[in-house]
Amino acid sequence: MSLSGGYNSPVSEEDGISIIKHAFNKGITFFDTADKYGPYTNEILLGKIGEMKKLVEEGKIKYIGLSEASPDTIRRAHAVHPITAVQLEWSLWTRDIENEIVPLCRELGIGIVPYSPLGRGFFGGKAVVESVPPDSFLVCFSSMFVRINFLPRFTGENLDRNRSIYFRIENLAKKYKCTSAQLALAWVLEQGDDVVPIPGTTKIKNLEDNIGSLTVKLTNEDLKEISDAVPTEEVAGGRYPDSFDKTSWNFANTPPKDS
């Protein structure tokens, strides 16, 4: 999504294809896209590596996944046709799915696809050691009618308070001999074999950094230490502003068929 302007201005088609090919050549074989990304342009960009047509012809695209679905919706959908994966936000500072969604997916044998596993770049230093462009999705939402401060965690006093969380993870990363982004991503990866995070990037160096997280191995004691460094009650601001919060899984019950 980030390649097509999900968070900042879209990269050029040449750069986008280069990043996708670089990831593929490094052994990355799972790419997340949707017609909403762009909109419409991201699927076209991904299709230009030529693999999508091949997979369709081979009949290999046949699985169903859900995104930001409520527990009720997941159960009802799975009863109609097995759901392969559920995509939800999961990172060190967004852990609300752990109490209900994660156990449900494991009960039903559904894979979990965490998006924004780096806290929308926060644990890579975005808005802390790296500036955020003024037109970034992280700090504003604009249309011809309205412009609002968008993600509460990245604006005003919330950001000032959240910076201390980043520096805690940065200090821990020194202990584990990795970057803060690698530690945060490794934490998500170590949540289970059924967890496949989808970090996004527009830079080769960040892609390499993300891939490097695969070499960071954490014990249960390590996971607890890292989790304890980011108490969710200390995170300032919600995932989305109030006007957008009702698009999250907490409010995503699908209406009954006869409604």
Residue 7 domain flag: yes
Tell which of 35, 62, 89 closes a domain.
Answer: 62
Q: Are residues 123 and 203 in the same domain?
A: yes
The alpha-carbon radius of gyration of the chain (Å, integer) is 19
Q: Are residues 2 and 86 in the same domain?
A: no
Residue 223 domain flag: yes
Residue 252 domain flag: no
Residue type at position 26: K
Q: How many CA atoms lie within 13 A of 99 on its CB side?
A: 4
| The predicted structure's pLDDT at residue 56 | 65
Q: Are residues 101 and 212 in the same domain?
A: yes
Q: Are residues 52 and 160 in the same domain?
A: no
Q: Are residues 77 and 134 in the same domain?
A: yes
Number of domains present in the structure of the chain: 2
Cα dihedral 32→38→44→49 (10° resolution): -50
| The predicted structure's pLDDT at residue 47 | 77
The encoded tokens of residue 29 equal 């074989």
CA distances from 107 to 41, 104, 111, 130 (A): 36, 5, 11, 40
Phi, psi of 203 (to 5 degrees): -130, 135
Residue 90 domain flag: yes
Whichever domain contains 198, its CATH number is 3.20.20.100
What's 176's DSSP letter? T
Domain residues for 42? Answer: 1-62
Active site residue 37: yes
The encoded tokens of residue 56 equal 């369709």
Tell which of 36, 62, 88 closes a domain.
Answer: 62
| The predicted structure's pLDDT at residue 109 | 98
Q: Is the dihedral of CA 20, 24, 28, 34 positive or negative?
A: positive
Tell which of 11, 32, 62 closes a domain.
Answer: 62
The answer to whether 33 and 61 are in contact (CB under 8 A) is no
| The predicted structure's pLDDT at residue 30 | 85
Q: How many CA atoms lie within 13 A of 11 on its CB side?
A: 18
The encoded tokens of residue 166 equal 């980043």
Residue 133 domain flag: yes
User: Is the preceding omega at residue 39 within 30 degrees of 0, hence cis?
Assistant: yes
Q: Are residues 36 and 76 in the same domain?
A: no
**Catalytic pick from 37, 40, 115, 240?**
37
**Tens-binned pLDDT, residue by residue, of the chain (259 aa):** 889 887 778 899 999 999 999 998 999 888 888 877 888 788 888 878 776 667 767 887 678 899 999 999 999 989 988 899 999 999 999 999 999 999 999 999 999 999 999 999 999 999 898 877 766 767 555 543 344 457 899 888 999 999 999 999 999 999 999 999 999 999 999 999 999 999 989 899 999 999 999 999 999 999 999 999 999 999 999 988 877 777 788 887 877 766 5
